[in-house]
Structure 1
């Protein structure tokens, strides 16, 4: 990728050179990357977490360390729980991973991994089955989303407050409750995608739509599917040709990838857009619910929040998109396709949400590992 300024190019090069000097290696497969990194968090990431999560520098540093440990505990706890597993989430107050299980006999084995255990009624498989039943229903506009929530041990259905008494909404909720354990939560607005008409900045363009680059892969970059259809041409911030959408899916999914050529190149970096320093990408270990996460986009730049839910179905006006992750991070038009990152681990590409970065809101992303596996791509890492 080209950079808008020589300064940014220099920062990216400096980051890469420091990585080589440290003896780090590059990923060689599309499989999820290791979750543990010995590299310290950058000052920019710590500053953004202080601003958006209300943490001190010491608290932000400690939280990142605890979240890195929790990713490893999560894998071990899933294996220990087996069919009794009913989900997990990171608890910021105590810095530990909480794991829900249905069988008391599994408590000791799961606790031995370092997780805090809570007993629940419904297994993860039962909740996933409920989610799939809801996915087969036609949802009205007043229903914003639905996802498996391990903390409530149910499928949470989001309903826009102003439309909660609508007859179609009530009919959907009735069918949803018949499908399995359901909890209803109100939300302020309906979700929308974050593509935008052509304006200035440091974006990429397809037609008259502006979006943001997600993550570099070998041969191109990944981004949101609603930003362009397969075969559509893509140009950079200076309107010079980059490549084409090689694959794209929206709705049902919201992911795509673009090949890179014509003098453009890829680097394992998430841009700070002049707000914070560029961030190196060292893998794609999945952050648990409750973990901190930051987003970079060409409109609102760098903002942080927490992971609120996973595997959520989002009901956009264009159609439902499944297997999304919900966050408390804000976003605005033009941020679509941009990077979600936790520490130095790639998480996903920005899809849509509600609100803005002045009044707040929520944003969903499509998990990056799903995109890599779908298209057989390899994440470009430092």
Structure 2
């Protein structure tokens, strides 16, 4: 994910005016008052979350609970279908009332699979991987983008990449699309009076202070400290708690490009798996499963408290005055200066930290957050949960992770050998994720893989790393010489192999090793 700030886009953090402020658990300091823990509510959501959803989305508590239950099902179903459909997966989203999950497919033959999973299929021209590729080309072409272009993002509901232009800048947006080589119909220009900006200004309230000057909000507790926004501080900057007690030091930070940072706390502070509900209590954090587009979401910040809304789009690029940030999630939740770095929750699942936005919590606006799973993966961090047991982040796609490299099945691997072996059938235009449609965790070091396929069959092999919002290819090879061999030096993280049929059809053998 690229650097993100709570920068106002000409439109302060605009949420649908929701106010679900989630402030990270106050780490225990000298003057920290004990807080009561809220009992868990339906489907893992605390009563305070249900109340905030009810207020901001005009729902009764029962309706909010039912919506969260549906969203939890939708997240799992969408993740499973994304792995099963491969290149034909065109994205997924929930209806405005949260009751219907739609899954886009580039191949009409896959519609039955979607229906069988309980979702509604929609045929589209492009898979989400193709849309991501279009956006990546815009990112590359946008290093000198017109400042009147607020940003761009993948909109799965319209099967396009949307470029946001301020009034009068529509032609500049179309030139950006042309410079990025976007195919016809893949990019839509939308006029919007947005002007993102970082929200790290001191506005009152307490969260944590950077060098006893500017103020930001804590994101989520990790073992040894917490995560927050990158524009809040740089490595070496010191933090103090809202009670003015020395707290910790920034050990890592990325902005612009990304917008995340890591703070290591001292022995006077204890990271806890809860979020401040700004009503005298806390709400629990029990994991980091990524919520789909259309899902309800709540944000906590030290300036405006708790506000809620819905996820509008993922993989958004925002053109802040300080530089472009990519890989953000766009929402209609409001936020204001000082809310930067604060926590975003879907039910009891951590989603991200506040980057920037446009608007305010009086008039509403748009707000972006940096996905938390990317922060955890990039920095090899472990999320602290409410039950006191550290919980590793989980990529949204591919089902459950293989805790360690899977056990090789019996049988040889033909020309290819490795610690793990998998076989399958592939055809041109198809793609499969291995091992078994899932992912695996690998320590930092070297990864090697070999894929063999029948003569006359051309197959590509891609090693992909989970970056917080999606799996990204970090190395590739193909069988043009008969066997695809791949070797890469990689950091610790979650990985998978993607087998892509380019020509012909037949059986393949994949063998790989991570050291």
Deviations, residues 347-379 of structure 1 (Å, cap 9, x unaligned) = 000000000000000100000000000000000
Report the equivalent of 2:269. 264
Structure having the higher strand fraction is: 2
> Aligned ranges for residues 283-362 of structure 1 at < 5 Å?
283-362=287-366
For 1:38 and 1:373, the matched residues in 2 are separated by: 29
Q: Runs of 5+ in structure 1 lacking a partner?
A: 20-36
Report the equivalent of 1:144. 150
For 1:83 and 1:217, the matched residues in 2 are separated by: 34
- Pick one of 202, 226, 231 that aligns with 1:221: 226
For 1:57 and 1:184, the matched residues in 2 are separated by: 38
For 1:169 and 1:149, the matched residues in 2 are separated by: 16
- Pick one of 230, 242, 255 that aligns with 1:250: 255
Deviation at 1:5, TM superposition (A): 7.0
Answer whether contact 2:29 2:245 (CA < 8 A) is retained: no
For 1:185 and 1:56, the matched residues in 2 are separated by: 34
TM-score (norm 1): 0.88
Structure having the higher helix fraction is: 1
For 1:77 and 1:91, the matched residues in 2 are separated by: 18
Q: Secondary structure at the match of 2:340?
A: coil
Of 38-47 and 108-117, more deviation after overlay is shown by 38-47
Larger Rg over CA atoms: 2
Report the equivalent of 2:235. 230
Of 323-332 and 87-96, more deviation after overlay is shown by 87-96
Report the equivalent of 2:438. none
Report the equivalent of 1:51. 55
Report the equivalent of 1:381. 385
- Pick one of 160, 166, 185 that aligns with 1:160: 166
Q: Secondary structure at the match of 1:245?
A: strand
The yes-or-no answer on 1:10 pairing with 2:15 is no
Deviation at 1:122, TM superposition (A): 1.0
For 1:116 and 1:332, the matched residues in 2 are separated by: 37
Answer whether contact 1:4 1:237 (CA < 8 A) is retained: no
For 2:47 and 2:220, the matched residues in 1 are separated by: 21
Report the equivalent of 1:31. none
TM-score (norm 2): 0.66
Deviation at 1:72, TM superposition (A): 1.0
- Pick one of 78, 84, 96 that aligns with 1:74: 78
Deviations, residues 215-247 of structure 1 (Å, cap 9, x unaligned) = 000100000000001111111112221111110
For 1:295 and 1:157, the matched residues in 2 are separated by: 25
For 1:356 and 1:193, the matched residues in 2 are separated by: 12
Report the equivalent of 1:205. 209
Deviations, residues 75-105 of structure 1 (Å, cap 9, x unaligned) = 2211231221111111243613211111111
Answer whether contact 1:241 1:262 (CA < 8 A) is retained: no
Deviations, residues 23-79 of structure 1 (Å, cap 9, x unaligned) = xxxxxxxxxxxxxx9755322111111211122223212111110111111122112
For 2:263 and 2:100, the matched residues in 1 are separated by: 38
- Pick one of 79, 91, 101 that aligns with 1:87: 91
Answer whether contact 2:164 2:173 (CA < 8 A) is retained: no
For 2:139 and 2:339, the matched residues in 1 are separated by: 27
Of 244-253 and 54-63, more deviation after overlay is shown by 54-63
Of 73-82 and 363-372, more deviation after overlay is shown by 73-82
